[in-house]
Structure 1
């Protein structure tokens, strides 16, 4: 794969370098913070070779790449120089409070996920080696391996200080020095010796800050305002010296006296609250988490659990969430393997096999976005088996001693209740595979199949199969109906069809026939073709709320139309500025009358081109 070309194309379609406020990556995704989301051409990016899909959540524009994400990220950094810029102001839209919270967590934890997983794997491996007396826990080999695995967790405040400083746009070196003060050896020794310390006569509540998450994040957030104050009011000739001076002199005592103790107390409350819910019923907790985890991942909401997992490990030395969601990852991998055995589509077979192996390594995006979610049934099967597996893990009291990716390699990290976790993991994996094969799924016809059907089967014997063409009423980018955000249209409740992301604001008649419904709000039109096809065009999503604002209609109910007649216009830019999705579903509302409805176009489409083929 040409990573340089892919990087260039992504930047071009995302609105150019000037539209990027921030960029980092996790295990599989490029996570962009954009100044203007409307400038990004999602459909064009999705169709790039090397891109699995595009999703928007947590206030970020996320491009799912897969295992090559780091190479593409580095190529973008090389081409744009984004990595050399330190942003000093917030750009673009902030989103609502919840979106900003999720964006904050993902921005802080995403850059260290690889190191976090690797450290956890080392801890799990060393645990097994010591438990089965392969290594002597008192020996040098065991202790050095332990140092390699524990170093990340012990110095976590320093590592998170770097990522939090980047997210809050604070001087990283001041942030690291502040974090280092929290685990300064003399203060650690004072804590261990139960000494009483005071600062200017104020008692200091000493606490263990190694491995903690919440104290340093709150401290860096407050540091942002302290540093900003001195940066604004100190003269440039002394700013570089006195800003770090005042920041450290103020922030370290403030953190030890107030921020730290409050954050440590809050951490204890969070851990106790989770433990209370878990103890009510570990099995039910596992079922709920196992069923919902991949749905949370899709919407980016799983980041809210990361601090809780790490906090559990800090407070209790183990975390049960890691164990209960592991089977859900295995289930998606198993469903992808089931698709591999079941499908006859060569492209899908290749994709599902690679997604299976990625899933074994704990990366489910290729399986979810590329295979199971598009086919629907495999995704539902995987969520169901993940729920059962989560319940099994919960019932056995399985818990991990570190935060890791839920892969087949990291099973040893679930040191508590490992046997139950192994049962749960492979039950979900194998069960999803078998059920996917037995229940099956409905595959989309490939473009080649459509062309073959169109050119041969449909023209050989017209007495057996009749065909009606529906032309695209809009110019833009065509995409499968099930991929749009409106669940009513995407779920097929209104019928089969296609969706178009329009390039302009003109809408034309898709058939020869009659306008059976012209909504007063001018955002939707129904047609009945001369052959009996009932077509609905819905301009944008949720646009009924505009009550006709931005729309102009040229037809009324009962009007006779020909293919290509201009029926309406709309102000596409105005709709986008008001925050509306302009994706336009084109649906055959009497789909049950036909043998099949075949979408014939993907990517670019011009109004007047054939978009749907109705088989009767």
Structure 2
């Protein structure tokens, strides 16, 4: 995968850097916050190689890429100044529902820590096994150093959350870290451990151990983000650099210890009590519900809203049963994908399902879900059922995580302890139900009768609603000769390209205009027969920003064959250094038996250009 190229293509198709308010990523997804979602070309993004799925959920424009998402994210951040985007540029933030904004805040704060969480989770699990099997002794320096490495993320959670919260709330990250550091300051911890009283200006401070806390620092940084712009107005620019931090540190640290810390601690305790009430009421039912619905939440990107429950459980109780109950659901989707891999004879499906199964076992289920199980529907439902059965068994077992970890094969040692054998059995049962159920009942290859496939493409009769007429006059070249690999590789779909001799674009079919690219150089059309057509005037013409293009129609317009859609200045495009080669691509080619282009060297407007074989 060319990460740099994919990053540039994605950035262009979401409307460019100027359309991005914020960007974060999790294990498989880029999560964009866009100013104008209409500028994002969702259809084109879905057609990009290595893009698994595109969706709009929880106030975010999410692009599912898979395990390489971190590299693509890094390339985007290196090529842009997105870290410097200002909050006031978020034009539609206030229009979002409270629920969507809450999910967005939680995911933005926790997703940057996901890689580190996975690493320390695996290390902590391996240490647990090493101690249990007598391979290492806790008193040894080797164990103590590795344990410090594995436990540091959890112990210093407030400092890490201060950084990610400051980034989300657009406030000073260094002042935020100072506030978090005060919560963990050794002298204050010693006062707490000795049970001594402490006051601030005569007001009593109720100290607690903030080393693993989550909510207090997030509240503190949020409040600071609202106060800082006000404080900045108080001081002249010549002294603002010094006095704004002074004021914020001197006020926010005491406020956090006096108000936000105790309040956050109370909320954390009640969250833990509420979870315990639901779990202890019926571990079997709780596990079944979590196991069945977890992957459904993943589809919509809503699972991040429940991450604080797992972290809070570890903070309050030292163990987390929630992560244990959802683990079989992850393995079950991998099991369903395995069932498809075992059953299919379709080379393309087998090529997708094999790697997706492996990724799912490691805890990354998006390739399995979007590439296989959700695509064929029944495997996904069977996987959810397997997850429910496994989750119910785990609930009864009492198994729990000893650390924050991304559930998967490599982090299974994190669950070592009470109920671990039954926990492993639950995962195996979930995988077996999903794999066997999918193999027997959930999937079969689409039937193809080889006898009806003729030996020559020309033998297919021309059906009127299966013909795409030329929208341009000019020279015809095969799609493979287009200088852009996105088109020449056929990744977007089959078709042909034209080098136009006249700057007029006409409708190739009767249908509807489904999309117009913001720079007016590309059009999406769906014919009355359901054929999806992309016409891309020139190469790299997006950089012209609409110059040299004059569009005659609007998105959503009903159009007829031969209707003028747009005019363009061929000489202006050429003088700007762009190619005028224009691909006409059938983006839903996979739905048809074949896409046949004419073999003529030249074509006139209205002549038959492409025949769709149904």
User: Same fold by TM-score, threshold 0.5 exceeded?
Assistant: yes
- Cα drift, residue 552 of structure 1: 8.3
Match of 2:578 in 1: none
Matched position secondary structure for 2:385: helix
Residues 275-315 of structure 1: per-residue CA shift (max 9 Å, x gap):
00111110111111100000001111111111111000000
Match of 2:293 in 1: 292
Matched position secondary structure for 2:364: coil
Is the 2:469–2:610 contact (alpha carbons within 8 Å) kept by the matching residues of 1?
no
Pair 20,502 (structure 1): closer, same or farther in 2 beyond 3 Å: closer
Alignment match of 1:418 (pick from 417, 420, 434) = 420
Is the 1:475–1:502 contact (alpha carbons within 8 Å) kept by the matching residues of 2?
no
Is the 2:345–2:445 contact (alpha carbons within 8 Å) kept by the matching residues of 1?
no
Structure 2 residue ranges without an equivalent (≥5): 472-486, 494-510, 517-522, 531-554, 564-590, 597-604
Is the 1:471–1:609 contact (alpha carbons within 8 Å) kept by the matching residues of 2?
no
In the alignment, the residues of structure 1 paired with residue 160 and residue 399 of structure 2 have an alpha-carbon distance, to the nearest angstrom, of 28
In the alignment, the residues of structure 1 paired with residue 452 and residue 406 of structure 2 have an alpha-carbon distance, to the nearest angstrom, of 44
Pair 245,336 (structure 1): closer, same or farther in 2 beyond 3 Å: same
Pair 123,12 (structure 1): closer, same or farther in 2 beyond 3 Å: same
Pair 283,237 (structure 1): closer, same or farther in 2 beyond 3 Å: same
Matched, 1:131 2:132: yes
Is the 1:338–1:436 contact (alpha carbons within 8 Å) kept by the matching residues of 2?
yes
Is the 1:509–1:565 contact (alpha carbons within 8 Å) kept by the matching residues of 2?
no
Pair 507,430 (structure 1): closer, same or farther in 2 beyond 3 Å: closer
* Pairs within 5 Å for 1:80-229: 80-83=80-83, 85=84, 87-94=86-93, 95-229=96-230
* Pairs within 5 Å for 1:308-387: 308-387=309-388
Residues 79-105 of structure 1: per-residue CA shift (max 9 Å, x gap):
22334x253435132221111110000
Matched, 1:26 2:35: no
- Cα drift, residue 71 of structure 1: 1.3
Is the 1:290–1:324 contact (alpha carbons within 8 Å) kept by the matching residues of 2?
yes
Pair 5,201 (structure 1): closer, same or farther in 2 beyond 3 Å: same
Residues 90-139 of structure 1: per-residue CA shift (max 9 Å, x gap):
51322211111100001000000010121122222212222232221222
Matched position secondary structure for 2:88: coil
In the alignment, the residues of structure 1 paired with residue 276 and residue 295 of structure 2 have an alpha-carbon distance, to the nearest angstrom, of 22
Pair 89,111 (structure 1): closer, same or farther in 2 beyond 3 Å: same
In the alignment, the residues of structure 1 paired with residue 8 and residue 443 of structure 2 have an alpha-carbon distance, to the nearest angstrom, of 37
Normalising to structure 1: TM-score of the pair?
0.77
Normalising to structure 2: TM-score of the pair?
0.77
In the alignment, the residues of structure 1 paired with residue 524 and residue 12 of structure 2 have an alpha-carbon distance, to the nearest angstrom, of 23
How well do the aligned residues superpose, as a CA RMSD in angstroms?
A: 3.5
Residues 226-262 of structure 1: per-residue CA shift (max 9 Å, x gap):
2121112211011010111000110010110111001
Pair 552,4 (structure 1): closer, same or farther in 2 beyond 3 Å: closer
Match of 1:441 in 2: 443
Residues 305-334 of structure 1: per-residue CA shift (max 9 Å, x gap):
111110000000111110111001001111
Match of 2:551 in 1: none
Matched, 1:303 2:322: no
Is the 2:343–2:444 contact (alpha carbons within 8 Å) kept by the matching residues of 1?
no
Pair 506,268 (structure 1): closer, same or farther in 2 beyond 3 Å: closer
Is the 1:599–1:611 contact (alpha carbons within 8 Å) kept by the matching residues of 2?
no
In the alignment, the residues of structure 2 paired with residue 611 and residue 395 of structure 1 have an alpha-carbon distance, to the nearest angstrom, of 60
- Cα drift, residue 601 of structure 1: 7.1
In the alignment, the residues of structure 2 paired with residue 200 and residue 224 of structure 1 have an alpha-carbon distance, to the nearest angstrom, of 25
Pair 298,451 (structure 1): closer, same or farther in 2 beyond 3 Å: farther
Is the 1:473–1:508 contact (alpha carbons within 8 Å) kept by the matching residues of 2?
no
In the alignment, the residues of structure 1 paired with residue 529 and residue 352 of structure 2 have an alpha-carbon distance, to the nearest angstrom, of 35
Matched position secondary structure for 1:438: helix
Deviates more, 1:269-278 or 1:60-69: 60-69
In the alignment, the residues of structure 2 paired with residue 35 and residue 450 of structure 1 have an alpha-carbon distance, to the nearest angstrom, of 49
Match of 1:278 in 2: 279
Pair 156,240 (structure 1): closer, same or farther in 2 beyond 3 Å: same
Structure 1 residue ranges without an equivalent (≥5): 481-497, 512-549, 555-562, 567-596
Matched position secondary structure for 1:62: strand
Match of 2:539 in 1: none
Matched position secondary structure for 1:22: strand
Is the 2:399–2:415 contact (alpha carbons within 8 Å) kept by the matching residues of 1?
yes
Pair 295,510 (structure 1): closer, same or farther in 2 beyond 3 Å: closer
- Cα drift, residue 453 of structure 1: 6.0
Pair 116,553 (structure 1): closer, same or farther in 2 beyond 3 Å: closer
Match of 1:571 in 2: none
Pair 412,241 (structure 1): closer, same or farther in 2 beyond 3 Å: same
- Cα drift, residue 161 of structure 1: 0.3
In the alignment, the residues of structure 2 paired with residue 222 and residue 80 of structure 1 have an alpha-carbon distance, to the nearest angstrom, of 29
In the alignment, the residues of structure 2 paired with residue 222 and residue 468 of structure 1 have an alpha-carbon distance, to the nearest angstrom, of 65
In the alignment, the residues of structure 2 paired with residue 353 and residue 209 of structure 1 have an alpha-carbon distance, to the nearest angstrom, of 45
In the alignment, the residues of structure 1 paired with residue 512 and residue 271 of structure 2 have an alpha-carbon distance, to the nearest angstrom, of 44
Deviates more, 1:110-119 or 1:154-163: 110-119
Deviates more, 1:307-316 or 1:74-83: 74-83
Pair 565,269 (structure 1): closer, same or farther in 2 beyond 3 Å: same
Match of 1:495 in 2: none
Matched position secondary structure for 1:250: helix
